[in-house]
Chain A
Amino acid sequence: MSSIWIENSEMEDKRKNVAIKLQTIHSRLVCVCVCVCVCVCVCVCVCVCVCLKKGNVVLQNTRSHSSSDVGAVDAGIVGSGGQRNSKMSVLGVSSLSRCGLLALRSPAGVAVRYAQTAAAPVAQPRIKKFQVYRWDPDTPGDKPRMQTYEIDLNSCGPMVLDALIKIKNEMDPTLTFRRSCREGICGSCAMNINGGNTLACVLKIDTDISKPSKIYPLPHMYVVKDLVPDMSNFYAQYKSIEPYLKKKDESKEGKEQYLQSMEDRDKLDGLYECILCACCSTSCPSYWCIADKYLGPAVLMQAYRWMIDSRDDFTEDRLSKLQDPFSVYRCHTIMNCTSSCPKGLNPGKAIAEIKKMMATYKEKKAAAV
């Protein structure tokens, strides 16, 4: 592939050399031919392609000859090949009277060739409708409503967050939503788009223009404004499971790392990546019913993450804290959480593992007593 590119640039250099030579020799012919050029420009393009192919064939033949030389320097091969090529091409060019024009117009010919490859036709604007939930409590008497915005997808980034930012920048600066990283790692832009909870910065805009995109805040959460949910209950529940390392012997704290085997570290894969976006918890119907007592899949997955961390000593305490009919046992394996997680994690499985651990822990406790 690279050799073909080199040949093309050699072609251009060779063409320029030819042009200079022809200008000196055939100056009069040139003046006459300029007038004729204007009428036959279409045919000239065709001839460019023809000449290119001819020249390429010529080049390959000469290169095969030159490569057989032993101990020939690359530069030398190129130089000799170029000279031979230029002579061959002069013959080829002069054979056709119009190709003299071509050599003259070689910069123009090159420009035409570039124009053919580079020009793209101006696209039709693709207008997509976005229906966005709006509510401003600071405006007295305002009721929640849906507002429709139209965006041309050709001038907008691919993700839903790009569309929302474009709406905020150009159409309606009062549209309020949370966002930070724009790459699916912070969890701020979690919202309900077309019925599913995801991150707006990760979900591509559905390019089907006939259907509007519907954007709502996270379901069954109190709304602070427009698309911003009140996450204080969610964060309070996360705080209640004590999501930090607790050790019985605190004397070695801060001195060096607590070591862990590779098998133990592998147990944490798929649990630590949670970004606490609350997409899973707000898709769980049990969490909709009892948001204050049932902890929800996100928080329970983090509780499980700390339970199975081999460096943590308080596993039994963590399990006993969840020992009531509401914190864990409101989960009925509906599995909405796993299907809505934007990071592809599996909170449903983590909750099942917690239930298993709770069962064995109860047995142990019963056996001890």
Chain B
Amino acid sequence: MPRHSKLQRLVLTLYRQFLRAGQNKPGFIPRIRDEFRANARIKKTDVMHIEYLYRRGQRQLEQLKDVNTKQLGSFSKPRDQG
């Protein structure tokens, strides 16, 4: 069974940290899941993009871990351009 690469393991630990940070705060988990699922489509070889998103994720994790952050909400663009 092919093992995860180092980068994949880093991404998985980041995901775990995000989920732990969002346990007691409403609205975090669905948003985190959507973001990670959408970016899972990136090819394994596009290392630059993955690292960029990983750094961005770390910065966002710092914000979420902050005690003062209570809730998370998001806007989504409707599929049909109205």
Given A137-B52, A141-B49, list of 11 further CB < 8 A pairs? Answer: A137-B48, A137-B49, A137-B53, A140-B42, A140-B49, A141-B46, A143-B48, A222-B52, A222-B55, A230-B55, A232-B59
For the residues of B in contact with A, the DSSP-based class is helix
Please, what's the 1-or-0 string for A125-156, where 1 marks a CB less than 8 Å from any CB in chain B? 00000000000010011010000000000000
What bracket does the count of chain B residues touching chain A fall in? under 10
| Inter-chain contacts of B55 with A (CB < 8 A) | 222, 230
For the residues of A in contact with B, the DSSP-based class is loop
**Shortest Cβ distance from residue A46 to the other chain B in the assembled complex, whole angstroms:** 72
> Which A residues fall within an 8 A CB radius of B?
137, 140-141, 143, 222, 230, 232
Residue of B nearest to A223 (CB): B52
**Shortest Cβ distance from residue B11 to the other chain A in the assembled complex, whole angstroms:** 16
Most interface-central of B52, B53, B55 (chain A CB within 10 A): B52
Q: Please provide the 5 A-B residue pairs with the shortest distance between their CB atoms, ordered closest to farther.
A: A137-B52, A137-B49, A222-B55, A232-B59, A230-B55
| Inter-chain contacts of A232 with B (CB < 8 A) | 59
**In the assembly, what is the distance between CA of A137 and CA of B46, in Å?**
11
Residue of B nearest to A137 (CB): B52
| Inter-chain contacts of B48 with A (CB < 8 A) | 137, 143
Ordered by A's residue number, 7 sampled pairs between the chains whose C-beta atoms are within 8 Å are A137-B52, A140-B49, A141-B46, A143-B48, A222-B52, A222-B55, A232-B59
**In the assembly, what is the distance between CA of A25 and CA of B80, in Å?**
86
**Shortest Cβ distance from residue B46 to the other chain A in the assembled complex, whole angstroms:** 7
| Inter-chain contacts of B53 with A (CB < 8 A) | 137
Please, what's the 1-or-0 string for B40-79, where 1 marks a CB less than 8 Å from any CB in chain A? 0010001011001101000100000000000000000000
| Inter-chain contacts of B46 with A (CB < 8 A) | 141
